Homo-oligomer: A and B are copies of this chain.
Amino acid sequence: MLDNDLILDKTDLHILRLMQDNARISNADIAREIGMAPSGVLERVKKLEQKGVIMQYTAAINPAALKQNMLAFIAIKANEAPGNIETTKYLAAIPEVQEVHHVAGDDCYLVKIRTYDSASLVGIMRNHLSKISSIVSTRTTIVLETVKEQQQLVIPKA
């Protein structure tokens, strides 16, 4: 999936824009919006899913509603052979870790992690990070307030 045969036309982009903003929009509504038959829309949506353009439909849940009020970024330095991915595999397997990026520069990895509070963050660092022998050092940045947080992409009109 997601090969070179993915030429997204104006209609595909329109569908993506609608579904990115409201994943629970009905095919019928999409069809009305873009002036196509519902069955045609369904075909296109299925193709977008199957090509890996649409990766998932998800409900964005308010972390505060689940009392998950701690958000932190951890910059991690690791001493491992280039191409070795043991560290990232371990980091990605931690459920509270939302993002793991391999970054350029001094710090090898940047990890985004969401927990209930500072105690549970420390708990994860103790129980998980300290068990990863390749980790040389960590630098934790605590988020005081999140002003904007969205995964939505800028989708061009054409």
Chain B nearest CB from A128 CB (Å) reads: 13
With the chains together, A55 CA to B59 CA distance in Å?
A: 7
Residue A136 at the B interface, CB < 8 A? no
With the chains together, A40 CA to B141 CA distance in Å?
A: 43
With the chains together, A105 CA to B64 CA distance in Å?
A: 23
Q: Is the CB of B141 within 8 A of A105?
A: yes
Chain B nearest CB from A96 CB (Å) reads: 6
| Beta-carbon contacts under 8 Å, A5-58 to B | 6, 8, 16, 19-24, 51-58
Chain B nearest CB from A89 CB (Å) reads: 8
Residue A98 at the B interface, CB < 8 A? yes
Q: Give the bracket for the number of chain A residues in contact with chain B.
A: 35 or more
Chain B nearest CB from A152 CB (Å) reads: 7
Other-chain residue from B55, B64, B146, B153 in contact with A66 (beta carbon distance below 8 A) = B153
Complex A-B: 15 CB contacts under 8 Å: A2-B64, A19-B59, A23-B24, A56-B59, A57-B57, A66-B155, A73-B110, A88-B148, A98-B149, A99-B150, A101-B144, A102-B147, A103-B143, A103-B144, A110-B141
Smallest CB-CB A-B distances: 6 pairs: A23-B57, A19-B59, A92-B148, A100-B147, A23-B23, A53-B65
**Residues on A facing B (Cβ under 8 Å):** 2, 6, 8, 16, 19-24, 51-66, 68, 71, 73, 85, 88, 91-92, 95-105, 107, 110, 114, 141-156
